[in-house]
Amino acid sequence: MRKFYKIIFTVAVIFISFALNACDPFDDVYLTLALETEFNTTGAGTNISLTNNLCLSDFSDYEDNRDKLEEIKYITSAYLTLNATQGLRGDNLTLKLYQADGSTLLFEYVLPVFIANNYVNNPLKINLTQQEINNLNTYLLNPKVDKCFVATLDVSNVSSSGIIYNLESKLEFVTELKIKP
C-alpha cells in the first residue's frame, strides 16, 4: 500500500509540475499602435511648409507598456486631408520623416500633383521602399528608450479658389509593439 501511495504522489507531482511549469499560459503580446501627427495651416502664400514633432511617449499605449517592450516595427502609413479650402492644390506634396535631430532622414514621399480634397475621406496610402522601412525599424530599436520624430509637409505652387486657404491634414503610421508578458 505504501508503494501505491508513492506512485500516486509521484503522478501528482508530475501532473502539477506539468501544469505549473511546462505549460506557460502566456504568449507574447502584439499591439498595433497608430502614431499620428496633424499639419494645420491657414495662409495665402504659394508654398506650404509645415513641421511637427512627435514622440512615442506621446501615445498612452507606448507609455503604458514601455517597461515590457521588446520590439517596435513599422507596418504602414497614410496621409489624410481632414479639411481644406475648395480647390486647394499644388505641386509636389512632400512628406518627410526625420529622426529627432531633424536632419537624419528616415523616409521621403513625394506626390507630384496634390489636390487636397481628393484625400478627404480617401486616405493616400504611403508605400515606402524597403530601405526606408529598414531605416525606421533601425531607429525604433531599443524601444524602451523613447524615440522622437520630426515630420514635415511641403507643397509648392499652391493655389486655391480664394486668396486665403486652409489645410488641415494628418500623417498616420501604424506600428506593432511586441510586449513581454
Torsion, CA 135, CA 137, CA 143, CA 147, rounded to 10: 40
To other proteins, the closest distance from the beta carbon of 18 in angstroms equals: 9
Cα three-residue angle 49-54-39, rounded to 5 degrees: 35
Q: Is the dihedral of CA 138, 39, 129, 63 positive or negative?
A: positive
d(CA 173, CA 170): 10
To other proteins, the closest distance from the beta carbon of 123 in angstroms equals: 6
The piece of 45-53, 84-92, 134-142, 171-179 that touches other proteins (CB under 8 A) is 171-179
Does position 36 interact with other proteins (CB under 8 A)? The reply is: yes
The piece of 72-80, 110-118, 137-145, 146-154 that touches other proteins (CB under 8 A) is 72-80
d(CA 126, CA 140): 19
Does position 12 interact with other proteins (CB under 8 A)? The reply is: yes
User: Nine-digit cell at 153?
Assistant: 509637409
Does position 19 interact with other proteins (CB under 8 A)? The reply is: yes
Residue 106 is given by DSSP the state E
Q: Which residues bind other proteins (CB under 8 A)?
A: 8, 12, 15, 19, 23-34, 36, 60, 64-65, 68, 75-76, 78, 80, 121-123, 125, 170, 172, 174, 179, 181
